[in-house]
Amino acid sequence: MNQIRSRLADLVRQQRERMTAGSAPAATEADLTELTDFGANPGALRMLTYLPPGLQRGAPLVVALHGCTQTAAGYAQGSGWTSLAATGGFALLLPEQRQANNPNRCFNWFESGDTTRGQGEVASIRAAIAHLVTAQGIDPARIFVTGLSAGGAMTTSLLATYPEVFAAGAIIAGLPHGAAAGMAEAFEAMGTGRPKPAAEWAALVRAASSHRGPWPRVSVWQGDADTTVRPANAEQILRQWAALHGTGGTPEASGSGNRRSLAWRGAGGAVVLEHHAIAGMAHGVPIDPARLGSVAPYFLPVGIASTAEIAGFFGLPVELPAAADATTAATATAATDAKPAGTQAAGSKTIDQDGTPVPEADDGFSLGGIKLTSIDPNGVIRKALTAAGLMKG
């Protein structure tokens, strides 16, 4: 297992070096404060915070989780969360993975020891939240969590293991709680979503704590040209949380340009689950750099300021310049240019890394017409291990 992780770390490092020319300046940690004594830290994570000047007691808190190869400071800058926190008067908690825990700096969303209540990384993050509630007077009713990729998968695990802590969460290119147990299942889950009936997904969340509702509201974001964490995973997340909220009916549909959105309302009339699919976008955070965020690997200029929209979903104050009028043509081009080598979009279809169209399949369950992508899990794992030099092609 250590050999696999080491080889994968080498691959990721090589890819990062190839992408250096397009990266934004690293965010400065000078704007952040590290928490060194926040309580139990069984996951051995770093914890950084951004507390804007004049932060009032009773302010909200957003927990923002970076993706693989990223740092907390880089994620805060690229996504624009520090800018929003400064103008909106809320606090940020920015957990950071250590390379000693994972060579690629991925949160260990596929390890049960890190995604079980009271254990590992989720327990460390919970301890840091409790510290800020006491030390900064954070409003315990307005705590939110969001993350990208591995950070998105860890977001779902935090929502599952500590649902009483979070009012809402936003998952960007992530996976459902309980999607994998170990490295091989992680590869399969990223490639296929490991589809299950909604009731089975919901049962995994119910088993994660003694909580029985109300459940956190959830926002799901996914690029339809993502070949790292396939769009099928977004549907599995929707299944999981629709079953918990009891909102499996026909959603409200909206969208224009390169985005299609679906929303489900709860018994009280508020949106409790939403999904945003971005046409032509690969793996990363959708941003509009003219309004918020910085272009860098995994921060993709598709004309959508997703961080601001997520903040709005959380009920936080947002002040941004108006969006530009012309988005469709320019953003589609930008999305294609920002994708990893060998990935492209052809109309509404996804083209795999080897250039072949990926067929769609319907397993009998549909949320607003979203369908699973049919992919051979053994093929996904084989390609990954071949690329890592652990299997002959």
- pLDDT score recorded for residue 236: 98
Q: Cα separations (Å) of 344 from 130, 167, 192?
A: 44, 37, 19
Q: Is the pLDDT of residue 327 over 60?
A: no
- pLDDT score recorded for residue 320: 82
**pLDDT for 225-257, tens place per residue?**
999 999 999 999 999 999 999 997 789 999 999
**Mean residue pLDDT across the chain:** 82
Choice between 147 and 355, residue whose per-residue pLDDT is larger? 147
Q: Is the pLDDT of residue 388 over 90?
A: no
Q: What is the 3-state secondary structure (H, E, C) of the chain?
A: CHHHHHHHHHHHHHHHHHCHHHCCCCCCHHHCEEECCCCCCCCCCEEEEECCCCCCCCCCEEEEECCCCCCHHHHHHHHCHHHHHHHHCCEEEEEECCCCCCCCCCCCCCCHHHCCCCCHHHHHHHHHHHHHHHHHCCCCCCEEEEEECHHHHHHHHHHHHCCCCCCEEEEECCCCCCCCCCHHHHHHHHHHCCCCCHHHHHHHHHCCCCCCCCCCEEEEEEECCCCCCCCHHHHHHHHHHHHHHCCCCCCEEECCCCEEEEEEECCCCCEEEEEEEECCCCCCEEEECCCECCCECCEEECCCCHHHHHHHHHCCCCCCCCCCCCCHHHHHHHHHHHCCCCCEEECCEEECCCCCECCEECCCCCECCECEECCCHHHHHHHHHHHCCCCCC
**pLDDT for 52-101, tens place per residue?**
999 999 999 999 999 999 999 999 999 999 999 999 999 999 999 999 99
Choice between 163 and 383, residue whose per-residue pLDDT is larger? 163
Q: Is the pLDDT of residue 335 over 60?
A: no
- How many Å apart are CA 205 and CA 117, to the nearest integer? 11
**pLDDT for 91-138, tens place per residue?**
999 999 999 999 999 999 999 999 999 999 999 999 999 999 999 999
Mean pLDDT of 15-26: 38
Q: Is the pLDDT of residue 374 over 90?
A: no
Percent of the chain past pLDDT 90, that is, above it, reads 72
- pLDDT score recorded for residue 378: 40
State the angle between helix axes of 72-79 and 81-88 in degrees (0 to 180), rounded to the nearest 10: 70
In 3D space, the residue among 321, 320, 326 whose CA is nearest the CA of residue 303 turns out to be 326
Listed range (26-30, 187-191, 195-199, 379-383) with the worst mean pLDDT = 379-383
Q: Is the pLDDT of residue 47 over 90?
A: yes
In 3D space, the residue among 155, 195, 136 whose CA is nearest the CA of residue 65 turns out to be 155
Residues annotated catalytic, as ranges: 149
Choice between 345 and 292, residue whose per-residue pLDDT is larger? 292
- pLDDT score recorded for residue 28: 64
- The answer to whether the pTM exceeds 0.75 is yes
Mean pLDDT of 186-204: 97
Residues 6+ apart with CB under 8 A from 236: 175, 176, 179, 193, 194, 195, 196, 201
Q: Domains in the chain and their CATH numbers?
A: 2-340+376-387 (3.40.50.1820)
- pLDDT score recorded for residue 384: 44
If one counts every other C-beta atom within 10 angstroms of the C-beta of residue 33, the result is 13
- pLDDT score recorded for residue 323: 67
**String of b and e for 323-336 (b: at least 16 CB within 10 Å)?**
eeeebeeebbebbb
> 121, 41 in Cβ contact below 8 A?
no
> 61, 90 in Cβ contact below 8 A?
yes
Q: Is the pLDDT of residue 328 over 80?
A: no
- Opening angle at CA 333, ends 328 and 336, nearest 5: 125
Choice between 391 and 9, residue whose per-residue pLDDT is larger? 9
Q: Is the pLDDT of residue 376 over 70?
A: no
